[in-house]
Structure 1
Amino acid sequence: MQMRLLAAVLVGLVAVTVVTSVGAVRLLDRSGRRWGDVLRARLVMGVPWGTLVVICFVLSIYLFVQDGVSDWHRPVVIPYRAWSYFYPLGMLTAPFSHANEGHLVGNLAGALVAAPIAEYAWGHYPSDRGTESFSSWRRNPWIRALVIFPLAVIAVGIATSYFALGAVIGFSGVVYAFAGFAIVRYPITTLLALTSTQGALLTVYRAINQPIFVATARASPPSPPSWATIAIQGHALGFLIGFCCAAVLFRRRGERSNPVRLWIALILFAFAKSLWQIYWFRGSDTYVLYRGLGVVVVTTLAVVATLAVVSSDRPLLPQSVRRRLETRSPSGSIRRIVDLGVPSASVQSGGSASDSPVDSRSNSGGDSSAVAPGDTAPGTRVRELVLGTRDRHEAIRTPERASGESTTRSALASMTRRETAFLAIVVVLALISGPAVPFNIFVLEDDSSPGEESITVEGYSITYAEDVENELISFVDISMFGEDTAVETSGVIVSNSDRNIWDDPVSADRLAFSGQSTIHVGGPGWRESVTAFRRGWSATGGETAYQIWLQRSGEAARHVFTSEPKQTNVQLAGNNVTVLPEDGAFYLVVEDIDDGSTESVRIPGEDGTFEAGGVTFERDGGRIYGEVDETRVQVASRERYNR
């Protein structure tokens, strides 16, 4: 009772101190800058309505689609992952669904700090010159805030789902898209928000949700390294989508960021948010982290991304190279035009020399230097058109110029430094998203359940198997740099051919650690629970013999797996002793070393003595002892679990 009262008091104190701290700083700020006016200049009533709509949408998916309203900490997850293009429900819900409460809160905290910055940079009010608010539905601030911004966010989320690698789930891809968009316009603000403010927000939330937390030292189940549980490819995909959208939008608006600030924000954000963690997995709980490669990629892309936003529009290629590219075509027509000195107007219009507004004497055998006042020699003007600015040489069109080879050369010659850098970012985005396509065309065969026995729940097949090929990863056979996609897995496996689902939610090691684990399957409007149990006896000096059961809620447990027998390193009066699992029970098998004869006896469920092969056994709690000629040794012990 006292602890509950103290917790309630602490919750109140946390709320009061946070509000008081903000208010005190507000009073101390004498800069004269009214933040309400600053926010209202770009947001309706100074409120990021689009962000609030998006957060409510994501929260609704968790509560009512994943059934988080029934179990806040354990929602239905499996049917809402992005399994395959042929399973639209998963592809559409995955970017807005979450694995658990911690996953949800972390992503919502990131959205709360990044989305308002992105929404502010975009603005509810039209920024084009000569346009007014409410002049059309697209310029209506309320529609931009409550409809256009949320729909754009949903579209980005679906894109991250369709081009993410693996059966992803979570809003983090969109959060990184917010970051990529905001960092182009407000680099330092975005960096601080997502590396500091997000952590502070989560700490305050946890302090209110659980003001007193008691932890005890205990063993942890086997688990992959933290970096192997993060969808780095999905995060990078979302970030680059947001970055490219912002680079185009703010370029059109004529808004540019400080290059030094942008580069600092990009590189520090990438390191802080682990975008450098490029990894792969080999199966059997082995993972490979390419740390050096990740650092090289991040530092290089930070420079290229900065150039894509703030670099100049000067041509990338030197003038001499551009001259050779632009004056060369399959028939050499452009070169002949330059050499013959055809008037520029005729080149631009595609007509004859007589169409030129230049004095006719220049085309009638007269003095070619006689030109209209203010004009240069015709040949010089043509060279300016061909070799000069982008706008000028874009106007030159001839039949030969329209050919594929000449068009490519012209485009190459006209590429600016900024366009080249931006194109490089687009290529990287394509390289990141492209490999997801073959993985997402995954189709599960009807007879894909690898276990000998299974439980079926509304189309879901739940079983247990060991050392079987992971069908989702091995669907595309790729080998590179000593790594490949032929990965084996062991544990509880859930498959559903109708939904193209193949998942191993509980590994064999994790089940051996805990002894039991519950898997939730379902769909919109329903959920079912299946619990996996493991029971075993460990042979002294040897390994553990075990069996697996699956139990659907409200039904009897079903035996689905039996391990190999395990022999002890104990010999009693010339006999070997082996622990034998069979048909849901456990036996001790006594084998005579000389003649190979065997005799078995079932391990009783209660303490007591039993005999086999001339050996007397005694069960004492979780231990079994064998006794021969007053020699008593332990031969087996019941497997213990951490729950």
Structure 2
Amino acid sequence: MSGIATEPEREGKVITIRLRSNQSDMRLLGTVLAAAVAVTFAASIAAVRRLQNPERPWRAVAGDRLVLGVPWGTLVVVTFVLAVYLFVQDGITDFSDPVTIPYRAWSYFYPLGILTGSFAHAGPGHLVSNLAGTVVVAPLAEYAWGHYPDSGDDDRLRSNPWVRALFVFPAVVIGIGLLTSLFSLGPVIGFSGIVFAFVAVALVHYPITTLVAAIGVQSVLTTIYRALQSPIYRYVAEPSPPSAPSWAAVAIQGHALGFFVGLVIGIALLERRDTRPDALRIWAAVLIYAVSRGLYQIYWFGEGNVFYLYRGPGIVIVAVLALVITVALTASERPAVPRKIGRRLARARTELSVDRPLEIAARSGPDRGAEGGNPDADGTDRFDRVYDIAGGYRSSRATRLSSLHRRGVAFLCVLLVLAALAGMAIPVNVVAVDGAAHSPESAIEIEDYTIEYAENVENELVSDFGIEYLDESLEASGVIVASERRNIWMEAVTADHLAYTGEETVTVGGPGWRSTVHVERAGWEPVGNDPVYQVRMGESPDPETVVFESDDAQAEVRIDDRFVTVASEDGEFVLEVTVDGTDAVETAPIPAADESTAAAGLEFERQDDTVYAINDGTVVAVATEESYD
């Protein structure tokens, strides 16, 4: 009867009810635990605040340099970055999958990327990490700068504390962001370069406090955020797809560029206020922060999935720069070149450039007698005056050398490092990429974007630098997104990653629109050989268009002098059977599950994910369907 549920139906309903009940209980437990985390930390902070009895309340200390003791500029900056993620990158539609490709700083030929690269983010984890760093470190940098001008003149608009807090500080931050986008190496995305600038400004003023905040407090803050978001985190141990090491996915040059921009700003503030920090604290803070944040991780790409990390040279460079920065901040104004050495150098150069010509002129001048006698008195006076002038030249040259003080020379070195970091990006950012598809007949066109699957093509993102060691097989394989108008070329999904997952999505778009391309891979692996596969792409969740078919592969089995090859033809997987010693080939499609087919006297039967060849009672596996995680 239709009104009575059968036993299997009742069991299915019971299981469904239990699953829903368990999920509801887990959500409730998660909410309770998240509330417990928030209440615990709030209570701890309140208790410690009552226990501590400082000479001046922290609000009063903050109020010395910040309007109402609040880092208003930091709040404006955080709001701006969050707004870019939500409304420019369309994170408000799908917070976990923002539009990223058009908002990277691809080159000077794509102004939109330059404008947004430093403020856009690759995903929610990237956003939260950078905002946590900003919330922790930016207030220290803002406090070091101060809402109240050092001169005490509040008449001018730009000296108004509220204007400095709400407009000047955010404007400077945006300016630094544009600078880092303009001179960053490669298609950078993210606020981290500006976070490094915040750290540098704060570090030169409050080295230990900044070090604790940037390394310790930021980690605590992100952990608390994750605890509130997922009080109970379930992890399943399973294989992971091939991927680049973490250090090869970080814009080290962009981080270093931001750090040195902030360093120059911090040094300028100290010079203006005529203050000097403690040398040991500065050196230790710079060295520890640079190493802990991976500024030593100089890397390059090798063949295939090979990456080179130049750890030793990187550590040496960081150690040397930490010393140079310390000297630039704390050294005295004693001459960089001792006066004695300066005078000797000046004298040696002057003697070569002045004394010898004067000596020759004195010996061969017109006032000498016909027999080579001594010059007359007027000639002697003239040459004496020239010698006196040359002596003054020696003195002025020695004075210029002695005027170069140690701190100034070290600061000049800092500026040279900054110039080198910025300059190395210019040749890369003026290169125009070729947006043409390698296989136009199979590529997908969306507006000005071209999305295709290709293997072993030139990696235009890491192009030919003319250095043999660096140009070792720089090829790309996978889903490639290109746009000639935007000067974009990107290996969005690698072939190895797709071979592991089986399906991926690629999102392209621009201001006000987005479009998603679905990519799927299917394949069969002949016994003892590489898999044969095909890739489908399309804008629908179940793409039907085959855009790539791999080469055939023969199974390493021999059945009654017959060989079996797996091939992909016109979107269909087939079995090709050849007889030893002949050129004849018979083809049959791979059978569906629990079905069979035949070719060249062999019967093929499929059981689950494996195809078996059957002949005179002999059963041999010839191919297995690919599985994905």
TM-score w.r.t. length of structure 1: 0.86
Partner of 1:299: 319
- Structure 2 SS opposite 1:246: helix
Instruction: Tell me the distance in 1 between the aligned counterparts of 2:334 and 2:543.
Output: 75
1:440 aligns with one of 417, 429, 451: 429
Contact 1:470–1:486 under 8 Å retained in 2: no
Instruction: Tell me the distance in 1 between the aligned counterparts of 2:569 and 2:172.
Output: 58
2:228 aligns with one of 193, 198, 208: 208
Matched, 1:573 2:577: no
Q: 1:412–1:633: structure 2 CA closer, same or farther, 3 Å change rule?
A: farther
**TM alignment of 1:199-598, pairs within 5 A:** 199-324=219-344, 412-449=401-438, 453-474=442-463, 476-479=464-467, 482-484=469-471, 487-553=474-540, 557-598=544-585
1:120 aligns with one of 139, 143, 146: 143
Q: 1:174–1:606: structure 2 CA closer, same or farther, 3 Å change rule?
A: same
Structure 2 unaligned residues grouped into runs of 5+: 1-23, 359-387
Deviation at 1:225, TM superposition (A): 0.9
- Structure 1 SS opposite 2:194: helix
Contact 1:224–1:285 under 8 Å retained in 2: yes
Instruction: Tell me the distance in 1 between the aligned counterparts of 2:253 and 2:128.
Output: 21
Q: Percent identity of the aligned residues?
A: 47
Q: How many residues align?
A: 572
Deviation at 1:484, TM superposition (A): 2.8
Q: 1:100–1:485: structure 2 CA closer, same or farther, 3 Å change rule?
A: farther
Deviation at 1:229, TM superposition (A): 0.9
Instruction: Tell me the distance in 2 between the aligned counterparts of 1:434 and 1:567.
Output: 52
Instruction: Tell me the distance in 2 between the aligned counterparts of 1:450 and 1:160.
Output: 36
Partner of 1:60: 83
Contact 1:479–1:485 under 8 Å retained in 2: no
2:72 aligns with one of 25, 45, 49: 49
Deviation at 1:87, TM superposition (A): 0.2
Bigger shift: 546-555 or 589-598? 546-555
Deviation at 1:633, TM superposition (A): 0.9
Instruction: Tell me the distance in 2 between the aligned counterparts of 1:556 and 1:541.
Output: 30
- Structure 1 SS opposite 2:137: helix
Contact 1:449–1:461 under 8 Å retained in 2: no
- Structure 2 SS opposite 1:240: helix
Deviation at 1:451, TM superposition (A): 6.1
Structure 1 unaligned residues grouped into runs of 5+: 337-378, 388-392, 394-405
1:489-538 deviation per Cα after TM superposition (whole angstroms, max 9, x unaligned): 10000000010000011000000000010000000000000011101000
Deviation at 1:604, TM superposition (A): 2.8
Instruction: Tell me the distance in 2 between the aligned counterparts of 1:386 and 1:17.
Output: 73
Q: 1:460–1:288: structure 2 CA closer, same or farther, 3 Å change rule?
A: same
Taking only aligned residues, the RMSD between alpha carbons, in angstroms, comes to: 2.1
Q: For residue 160 of structure 2, what is the amino acid of its counterpart?
A: N
Partner of 2:18: none
Q: 1:505–1:419: structure 2 CA closer, same or farther, 3 Å change rule?
A: same
Matched, 1:14 2:37: yes
Q: 1:137–1:326: structure 2 CA closer, same or farther, 3 Å change rule?
A: farther
Contact 1:73–1:100 under 8 Å retained in 2: yes
Instruction: Tell me the distance in 2 between the aligned counterparts of 1:331 and 1:438.
Output: 40
Instruction: Tell me the distance in 1 between the aligned counterparts of 2:299 and 2:126.
Output: 21
Deviation at 1:26, TM superposition (A): 1.0
Contact 2:520–2:543 under 8 Å retained in 1: no
TM-score w.r.t. length of structure 2: 0.88
Deviation at 1:297, TM superposition (A): 0.7
1:1-56 deviation per Cα after TM superposition (whole angstroms, max 9, x unaligned): 22122111111111111111111111111232311110000000000000010010
Instruction: Tell me the distance in 1 between the aligned counterparts of 2:401 and 2:452.
Output: 57
Contact 1:39–1:46 under 8 Å retained in 2: yes
Deviation at 1:411, TM superposition (A): 5.1
Contact 2:62–2:69 under 8 Å retained in 1: yes
Partner of 1:605: 592
Deviation at 1:551, TM superposition (A): 1.0
Q: For residue 477 of structure 1, what is the amino acid of its counterpart?
A: F
Q: For residue 524 of structure 1, what is the amino acid of its counterpart?
A: P
2:198 aligns with one of 156, 178, 196: 178
Deviation at 1:211, TM superposition (A): 1.2
Deviation at 1:554, TM superposition (A): 7.3
Deviation at 1:581, TM superposition (A): 0.9
Contact 2:435–2:489 under 8 Å retained in 1: no
Q: 1:556–1:30: structure 2 CA closer, same or farther, 3 Å change rule?
A: closer
Q: For residue 14 of structure 1, what is the amino acid of its counterpart?
A: V
Deviation at 1:219, TM superposition (A): 1.4
Instruction: Tell me the distance in 1 between the aligned counterparts of 2:289 and 2:400.
Output: 34
2:177 aligns with one of 146, 157, 160: 157
Instruction: Tell me the distance in 2 between the aligned counterparts of 1:27 and 1:12.
Output: 23
- Structure 1 SS opposite 2:558: strand
Instruction: Tell me the distance in 1 between the aligned counterparts of 2:542 and 2:573.
Output: 23
